[in-house]
Each structure stands twice: as structure tokens, then as C-alpha cells.
């Protein structure tokens, strides 16, 4: 296994990760892409332990960074990566030129490169601070154009460059829950947005707009009494075959061809999947189950709130009290007096935040997901 440095440390994604990944797909040396920053990169090396033998059948190791901690090295084969990319291109209507706007240390960014390799096209790369229009201009004229974003990026570019977003044949959005209001606004602006659900263990997104890709199966298992949704399990040729140097974790998560995601979800009569959040993220306040993701979504609907992260802190009376870190919209100063009834009227009084902290931006992991663990710890210490 060859740990590839992050693009920020060695030029660009096209001169480092792109050729290494193409070689791995064609039977060359397995590769792992390190996250940016000395600390995260050193932690990834310690997790990967590249001097020890690599598990058979591995062509790519993706280092995860869970929003509540517990990073792992996910073992993926070239076959799983190709199966995911092929099914994605089939679902979207065929190959095209891809704009890479996600870090290549995360599976979302890596899959942009895999899809580009299968399409025989070199992707364009969105540089930090670059206008979306300038990056899109490097894609071939007349070709179908695709990109993959996290919700924060969709929100930003929808406000700044909606016409550019609308020029894509498809804009995949995943990595975190996407608010219905944001999706409605994007579609109203003509953006062909497709929600994706998946993770490193499924070689990226494997459920698009609630419908599994071809070759992917979904079921839910009753793991929490149906309180907020049951546990989502996934199967198919896109699955990883385990975790790096973690046979116990592999045996627990991968069973009889199914991967237990630890996400809560439900299936409609037509098989459409709805994801409700993490099974272990449910807060219990005053004996009532509260989904932090649902509270965040409602907060973002308020005109004074641009973004939000919700956590639960110990409380002697309520068991857990709901606390929120909120990014205000420009010029606004939201307060509890207006946000508590806003949330209570939609989700019930138990879900209404009891503490509100204003922040400049939501901290994120190298994958682009909100760093919930960091926010919770800072709220507990009163650092925010």
C-alpha cells in the first residue's frame, strides 16, 4: 500500500492522486490518500500502518473520519469501485466530464476520479477560493457535465452562481443530510440535483433520490424499537470487504453479505429509502426522543439561520438538554426567544434548543461533513 499525500501537500489532485488511483484500478499498487494537514495525515498513517501486510483483495484504503470520532481504514477493491462508478453513470444517463470539488481523501472525491477514469476523461479541479464558473470552463465544450458536492457547497454556490449549477447535467449532493428547503430552492433554480446516500463502506453513494443503484439492495432491521427509524443495511457489489487491521470491527459490520450502516431509516411501500439520521445520535430530552438532524433542518429553515449543528449535553432535570450552534445569515442575530418556538411548533417542545451559541462557520471534517464531536466538546466546555 502506497499512502499518497494530499493534493494540498503535493501540487494538485491531477498530478498525485489521479495517476495513482488509475494505476490501482488497473492492478497496480494499492493506494490510500491522506487527509490534508500534518495532524490528520499523521493520524491516518498511524491508523493505516503501511509497513504491515495489506489485507488481500484491497486496491484502495479510504480513511474515514466519523462525525463522532472513531476513524477507520475501509478496504475497497477495484471491482467495488468500478461497480459503483458504472452504476452511477448508468443512473445519470451516461459518461461525461466531472468537476472535482471534494477532497480526494474522502470517498466522494475519489469516486469523481473513478467515474472520470471509466469515462476516459480527465476531470477539472475546483481550486480553493476559485469561482465555480472558472473551473467549469476547463471542462470540454458540448460534453455532459457532472459534479458532486456536500450540502454546504450547494448552499453557497446556489447563492453565488446558480446559473453555473444549473448548467450541470447532474449535481450529486451527499456526505450529510440535505434540507428539503435547500433541495426545493435548488430545483426551483433549475439545478438538476440528485441526493445520494452511501459511505466509504459502499464505495460512495449507492442510493440516489431514495432509490438504490442497480446491483444494490437495501433493507432495514429493527435495532431501536422503531423510535426514529430502524437500522439501514446495504448489500451488493459496491461493498468494501472490511476494515484495515480490525477483524472484530469487520465481523460486526459486515455480516452475510450485508453492511450494517448504523443509520436509521425507513422504506416506503415502493422501496424508496428515507434516512432519518444516526441510530446513536438520538437525544432523549424529558423522556422524548429527539433527532439532532431534524432540529438542524428546521433551524436552517429560519430566515436568520444559515447553518446549524445540534448536540445533547447532560442535564439533571431533562436527562439531555438540546443545544444548538448556529451560523447567522448576514446581518441577522437570531436568539432563543425566536428560535425555540420556531422549532417547538414543528417538532414539539422537547426538540426546542435550550442553549444557543452563534458561530462564524460550522467546523468540518476532511470529508466535508460537520464535525459534530468537535462541536459537542466545545459546547460542553463553553468554548463556542
pLDDT in tens, 106-134: 899 999 999 999 999 999 999 988 999 99
Same domain, 263 and 292: no
Task: Mark which of 256, 277, 298 sits at the end of a domain.
Answer: 277
Same domain, 79 and 218: yes
Q: What is the pLDDT of residue 2?
A: 61
Same domain, 272 and 287: no
Q: What is the pLDDT of residue 218?
A: 96
Same domain, 19 and 124: yes
Q: Cite the DSSP H helix spans in 167-224.
A: 180-188
Please answer whether residues 51 and 244 qualify as being in contact, where contact means their C-beta atoms are separated by less than 8 angstroms. no
| pLDDT (tens digit per residue) in 68-82 | 445 899 999 999 999
Please answer whether residues 92 and 147 qualify as being in contact, where contact means their C-beta atoms are separated by less than 8 angstroms. no
Domain span at residue 353 reads 282-381
Same domain, 367 and 223: no
C-alpha distances out from residue 81 to 19, 24, 196, 367, Å: 16, 11, 16, 18
Please answer whether residues 112 and 88 qualify as being in contact, where contact means their C-beta atoms are separated by less than 8 angstroms. no
CA distance 73 to 200: 9
Q: What is the pLDDT of residue 315?
A: 82
Please answer whether residues 21 and 117 qualify as being in contact, where contact means their C-beta atoms are separated by less than 8 angstroms. yes
Output the domain CATH number for residue 365.
3.30.300.30
Count of domains for the chain? 2
CA distance 88 to 220: 23
Same domain, 108 and 239: yes
Q: What is the pLDDT of residue 5?
A: 56
Output the domain CATH number for residue 227.
3.40.50.12780
DSSP state of 350: G
CA distance 216 to 87: 9
Same domain, 263 and 321: no
Same domain, 337 and 227: no
Please answer whether residues 181 and 301 qualify as being in contact, where contact means their C-beta atoms are separated by less than 8 angstroms. yes
C-alpha cell at 59: 486496491
CA distance 61 to 57: 11
Q: What is the pLDDT of residue 10?
A: 35
Q: What is the pLDDT of residue 290?
A: 84
Task: Mark which of 257, 277, 297 sits at the end of a domain.
Answer: 277
Other CB atoms within 10 A of residue 367 CB: 26
Q: Which residues of the chain have pLDDT under 70?
A: 1-12, 65-70, 223-229, 366-368, 383-384
Same domain, 117 and 139: yes
CA distance 330 to 153: 17
Same domain, 220 and 331: no
Same domain, 263 and 299: no
**Edge-to-edge strand list for the sheet holding 305-315:** 305-315, 319-328, 355-358
Please answer whether residues 198 and 173 qualify as being in contact, where contact means their C-beta atoms are separated by less than 8 angstroms. no
Same domain, 288 and 272: no
Task: Mark which of 277, 305, 326 sits at the end of a domain.
Answer: 277
Amino acid at each position: 500500500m502506497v499512502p499518497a499525500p494530499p493534493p494540498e501537500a503535493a501540487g494538485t489532485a491531477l498530478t498525485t492522486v489521479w495517476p495513482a488511483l488509475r494505476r490501482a484500478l488497473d492492478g497496480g499498487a494499492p493506494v490510500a490518500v491522506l487527509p490534508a494537514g500534518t495532524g490528520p495525515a499523521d493520524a491516518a498513517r498511524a491508523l493505516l500502518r503501511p509497513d504491515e501486510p495489506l489485507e488481500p483483495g484491497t486496491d484502495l484504503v479510504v480513511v474515514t473520519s466519523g462525525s463522532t470520532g472513531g476513524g477507520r481504514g475501509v478496504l475497497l477493491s477495484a471491482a467495488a469501485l468500478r461497480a459503483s462508478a458504472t452504476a452511477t453513470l448508468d443512473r445519470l444517463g451516461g459518461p461525461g466530464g466531472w468537476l472535482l470539488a471534494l477532497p480526494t481523501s474522502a470517498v466522494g472525491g475519489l469516486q469523481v476520479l473513478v467515474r472520470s477514469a471509466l469515462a476516459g476523461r480527465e476531470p477539472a479541479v475546483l481550486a480553493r477560493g476559485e469561482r465555480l464558473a472558472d473551473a467549469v470552463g476547463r471542462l470540454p465544450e458540448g460534453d455532459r457535465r457532472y459534479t458532486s458536492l456536500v450540502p454546504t457547497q450547494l448552499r453557497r454556490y446556489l447563492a453565488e452562481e446558480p446559473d453555473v449549477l444549473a448548467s450541470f447535467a447532474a449535481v450529486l449532493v451527499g456526505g450529510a443530510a440535505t434540507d428539503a428547503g435547500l433541495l426545493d430552492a435548488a430545483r426551483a433554480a433549475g439545478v438538476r440535483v440528485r441526493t445520494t446516500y452511501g459511505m466509504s463502506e459502499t464505495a460512495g453513494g449507492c442510493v440516489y433520490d431514495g432509490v438504490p443503484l442497480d446491483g444494490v439492495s437495501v433493507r432495514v432491521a429493527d435495532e431501536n424499537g422503531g423510535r426514529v427509524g430502524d437500522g439501514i443495511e446495504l448489500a451488493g457489489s459496491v461493498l468494501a470487504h472490511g476494515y484495515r487491521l480490525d477483524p472484530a470491527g469487520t465481523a460486526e459490520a459486515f455480516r452475510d453479505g450485508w453492511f450494517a450502516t448504523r443509520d436509521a431509516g425507513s422504506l416506503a411501500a415502493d422501496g424508496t429509502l428515507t434516512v432519518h439520521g444516526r441510530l446513536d445520535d438520538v437525544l432523549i430530552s424529558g423522556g422524548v426522543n429527539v433527532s439532532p438532524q431534524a432540529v438542524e433542518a428546521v433551524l436552517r429553515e429560519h430566515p436568520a439561520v444559515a447553518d446549524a449543528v445540534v448536540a445533547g449535553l447532560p442535564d439533571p432535570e431533562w436527562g439531555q438538554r438540546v443545544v444548538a450552534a448556529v451560523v447567522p445569515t448576514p446581518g441577522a442575530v437570531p436568539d432563543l426567544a425566536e428560535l425555540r418556538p420556531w422549532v417547538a411548533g414543528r417538532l414539539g417542545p422537547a426538540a426546542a434548543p435550550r442553549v444557543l451559541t452563534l458561530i462564524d462557520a460550522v467546523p468540518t471534517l476532511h470529508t466535508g461533513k460537520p464535525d459534530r464531536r468537535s462541536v459537542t466538546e466545545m459546547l460542553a466546555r463553553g468554548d463556542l
